[in-house]
Structure 1
Amino acid sequence: MIADQWPLFGLVLRTPRLELRLPDLDRLAELAELAKGGVHDPAVQPFLAEWTDAAPERVAASVLQWSWSTWARWQPESWSLGLVVIADGRVVGTQGIEANRFATLREVSTGSWLGRAEQGKGYGTEMRAAVLELAFTGLGALFARSEAFEDNHASYAVSRKLGYADDGISRHVIRGAPLASRRLRLDRAGWEAARTIPVTIDGLEPCLPMFGR
């Protein structure tokens, strides 16, 4: 089995409504089709990388290529884990968590998106809670970071609900114009105080060396 060679394929996170796992090719194709249908209002660009401004077919292909590239580049000192989010048997989005020099810094950052039809259902909170449980409980993280543009109210609502605090601003160029984003940081105490969503983690033990643990 592939999980014998690449244990991350056996890692599964579960919340009351969601399952998060590394996608096989069929699930990855489903995620690409979801992205092809759009993940936000075209009038705005909520991501630092402007990948969704491309034609639908190019957007779908970029989802495949990004996932494959994270698998190929994986190292214990620098890793990016992109999980598909499954609700009622269908892929509804993706939740990522990544780190550099995790064994020393014990810090992760997260990013995610949902298909437009799946937004507004509370999935964003559950899927972020799942990877925070992986980070803090499973891997022993001390901090988690997030960042969103100032008009991304949904992302801020999730961060506040999960205990994040303000950590300054950054300025970026998006569609040729300057745009400010707000950084947020969650420490272990804040996570423990806001931890209300039950999460189970299966298959982590054989993956620990891959995370630098």
Structure 2
Amino acid sequence: MVLEDHWPLGRLRLGTPRLELRQPDDEELAALAEVAAAGVHHPGERPYLTPWTDLPPRQRALHVLQRHWSRRGSWSVDAWTLELGVFHEQRPLGMVALRARDFPVLREVRTESWLGLDHHRRGLGTEARTALLHLAFEELGAVSAVSEAFQDNAGSQGVSRKLGYRHDGTTRDVLDGRAVVSDRLRLDRADWQRTPHAPVTVTGLTACLPFFGC
């Protein structure tokens, strides 16, 4: 027996023309943490409600490690987060996540992502989210995907528009003692299916399906 016999998610692979998405081993996770430590956005930007990117580099790297371990350890059919490393020719670029609660009933997912600053503005974020959405809609039977982004987060908003998301209202939160507004964006199955997107391959999924409640 090996780890993946108990945790088949370790064998799950999503492939796009340029990227492979997979759960990292500890060595790869350390490399991804170093990418985060080097920076994931320009100074002065605040793209995340949880301000983990404001931490000093070493603490930022530790946050990436601990969050990934926590998400694995807390997995249940009723509340899961599939966090995957994003790799190009074995080089770590960043991480993405597909999240859901009560998925067997609601069939709704949420996505999140970060890429190292050197990998921005190359269409890689769109390609990585496409892979997650393919998994959700085509393989797991999702009916909708939701994303939230600050109104000045041009990168995340741009990816959502490319993939066919529609405006679905706003939310208000508190960041550093002030109110901030996010756009809530929704992609339904019909809009996903009518929007062209990069091809995606999925391997190692069959043994994982019970973990998603499928």
The answer as to 2:93 corresponding to 1:88 is no
Structure 1's unaligned 5+ residue stretches are none
Question: Cα offset for 1:139?
Answer: 0.3
Query: Which amino acid in 1 is paired with 2:139?
Result: G
Residues in 1 aligned to 2:177 and 2:117: alpha-carbon distance in whole angstroms: 25
Within 5 Å, give how 1:58-207 maps onto structure 2: 58-207=59-208
Q: Deviations for 1:19-67, whole angstroms, at most 9, x for unmatched residues? A: 0001110110011001111101220210011111111111110100000
Residues in 2 aligned to 1:190 and 1:200: alpha-carbon distance in whole angstroms: 20
Aligned residues: 213
Residues in 1 aligned to 2:57 and 2:176: alpha-carbon distance in whole angstroms: 18
Single out whichever of 169-178 and 19-28 deviates more from structure 2: 169-178
Question: Cα offset for 1:176?
Answer: 2.4
Q: Deviations for 1:140-194, whole angstroms, at most 9, x for unmatched residues? A: 0000000100111111111011010001011112222211110100000000011
Is the CA contact (8 Å cut-off) linking 1:85 and 1:92 kept in structure 2? yes
Is the CA contact (8 Å cut-off) linking 1:94 and 1:114 kept in structure 2? yes
Query: Which amino acid in 1 is paired with 2:119?
Result: E
Residues in 1 aligned to 2:72 and 2:97: alpha-carbon distance in whole angstroms: 13
Query: Which amino acid in 1 is paired with 2:176?
Result: R
Alpha-carbon RMSD? 0.8
Q: 4+ residue stretches of structure 1 with deviation over 2 A?
A: none
Match of residue 47 from structure 1: 48
Single out whichever of 191-200 and 10-19 deviates more from structure 2: 191-200
Query: Which amino acid in 1 is paired with 2:40?
Result: V
Match of residue 29 from structure 2: 28
Query: Which amino acid in 2 is paired with 1:26?
Result: E
Residues in 1 aligned to 2:109 and 2:187: alpha-carbon distance in whole angstroms: 10
Structure 2's unaligned 5+ residue stretches are none
> Percent of aligned pairs with the same residue?
50
**TM-score, normalized by length of structure 2?**
0.98
Describe the SS at the equivalent of 1:39. coil
